[in-house]
């Protein structure tokens, strides 16, 4: 079993990284006249405190006026209030009503009536022409031919009216949207004028110096450092896997197995080994995170647990299986199986010799 790999580098905390980058790029600025912008936070009493905010405090910005700016603001603010009050008085009472969507059935009815009023004269003239034609042909009113011709005319007229009603219902939705849009545009225009007047009366001067210093991409730097650490970790893991693979191959090739290097204690119980291999639990498993040895492919394995192997064979340790012991038990079990197969083959061969071929048996 190889040495366990180290842990991967911990990713940077997003909240801590964002807070650090914000602090790097929050620059207090001051002008020669005394105005400026200060960054800090608001304490539990509502007071502004300059400096980095604690973890449980909200960031805040404080603007500091110079005496000239303060004087201009105090002069223009009353004028701005007066202008806003005048605009409200002049326009708020003339504000159009809020747009409302009209009832669809009413809109459809209006569209139908308007279109039908244009078509009605044509329908009446068509009926008159039909009656004149039927009378000219000498067909009396109430006859079968008269009723058929007049009925067909009426059916066509009803079909036209039905299609007209369907078209009116479909067009009602578009007309609703159009009328609502007109009402909304009228009201929005009035509100926009009022808001512009209310917000455009006073624009205080700004003599704060520019704080557009080059930003610090702290999160990018932290991300680059993490990626470099992660790449180095992955490279070390890959090198370790290659080293472990090479050592495993060399170890497998150099297992010392000569008799002169061993104290032999007798022959293995091959039947007992076969019974063990027939009954030892075999599992499909994968290593837990951080438990896999170098060289492991990370996929699923099949085999016994070390605890079961030691309990049933008395070999190895409860947390690992010695490769030499495992191969030895497998070899003994295989040898037992081969002996059993050879024995069964001999029995089958003897039985075949005792069977008389059918073509030699004759019935007299």
Kindly tell me if the per-residue pLDDT of 192 is higher than 80: no
Both tokens of 326, joined, read: 């495992």
The tens digit of pLDDT for each residue in 9-59 reads 888 888 778 777 777 777 777 777 778 888 888 888 888 888 887 777 778
pLDDT of amino acid 44: 82
Percent of the chain with pLDDT over 70: 77
DSSP summary character for residue 355: S
At residue 3 the predicted structure's pLDDT band, cuts being 50, 70 and 90, is very low
Q: Of the candidates 4, 2, 3, 6, which has an alpha carbon nearest to the alpha carbon of residue 230?
A: 6
**Cα–Cα distance for residue pair 299/188, rounded to 1 Å:** 66
The tens digit of pLDDT for each residue in 202-230 reads 455 555 555 566 677 878 888 888 888 88
DSSP string, 285-344: E-PPTTTPBTT--SS-EEE--HHHHHHHHS-SBTTB--HHHHHHHHHHHHHHHHHHHHHH
Kindly tell me if the per-residue pLDDT of 358 is higher than 60: no
Tell me the three state secondary structure of residue 182: helix
At residue 279 the predicted structure's pLDDT band, cuts being 50, 70 and 90, is very high
Q: Which residue has the higher pLDDT, 198 or 29?
A: 29
**Average of per-residue pLDDT across 100-121:** 73
Tell me the three state secondary structure of residue 58: coil
Kindly tell me if the per-residue pLDDT of 119 is higher than 90: no
Q: Of the candidates 294, 293, 290, which has an alpha carbon nearest to the alpha carbon of residue 239?
A: 294
pTM: 0.33
At residue 6 the predicted structure's pLDDT band, cuts being 50, 70 and 90, is low
């Amino acid at each position: 079993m190889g040495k366990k790999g180290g842990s991967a580098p911990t990713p940077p905390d997003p909240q801590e990284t964002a807070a650090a980058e914000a602090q790097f790029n929050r620059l207090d600025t001051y002008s020669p006249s005394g105005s400026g912008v200060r960054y800090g936070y608001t304490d539990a009493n509502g007071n502004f405190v300059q400096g980095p905010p604690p973890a449980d405090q909200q960031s805040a910005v404080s603007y500091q006026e110079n005496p000239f700016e303060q004087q201009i603001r105090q002069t223009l603010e009353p004028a701005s209030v007066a202008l806003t009050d005048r605009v409200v008085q002049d326009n708020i009472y003339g504000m159009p009503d809020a747009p409302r969507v009209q009832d669809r059935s009413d809109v459809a009815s209006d569209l139908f009536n308007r279109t039908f009023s244009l078509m009605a004269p044509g329908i009446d003239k068509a009926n008159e022409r039909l009656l004149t034609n039927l009378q000219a042909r000498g067909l009396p009113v109430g006859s079968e031919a008269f009723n058929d011709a007049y009925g067909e005319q009426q059916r066509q007229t009803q079909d036209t009216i039905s299609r007209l009603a369907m078209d009116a219902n479909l067009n009602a939705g578009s007309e609703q949207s159009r009328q609502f849009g007109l009402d909304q545009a009228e009201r929005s225009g009035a509100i926009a004028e009022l808001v512009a007047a209310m917000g455009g009366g006073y624009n205080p001067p700004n003599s704060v110096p520019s704080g557009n210093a080059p930003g610090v991409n702290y999160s990018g730097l932290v991300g680059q450092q993490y990626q470099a650490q992660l790449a180095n970790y992955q490279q070390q893991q890959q090198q370790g896997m290659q080293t472990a693979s090479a050592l495993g191959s060399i170890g497998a090739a150099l297992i010392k197995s000569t008799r002169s290097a061993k104290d032999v204690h007798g022959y293995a119980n091959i039947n007992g080994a076969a019974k063990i291999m027939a009954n030892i639990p075999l599992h499909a498993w994968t290593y837990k995170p951080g438990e896999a040895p170098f060289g492991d492919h990370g996929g699923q394995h099949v085999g016994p647990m070390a605890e079961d192997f030691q309990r049933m064979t008395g070999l190895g340790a409860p947390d690992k299986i010695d490769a030499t012991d495992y191969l030895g038990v497998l070899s003994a079990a295989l040898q037992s199986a081969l002996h059993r197969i050879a024995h069964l083959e001999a029995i089958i061969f003897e039985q075949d010799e005792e069977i008389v071929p059918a073509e030699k048996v004759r019935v007299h």
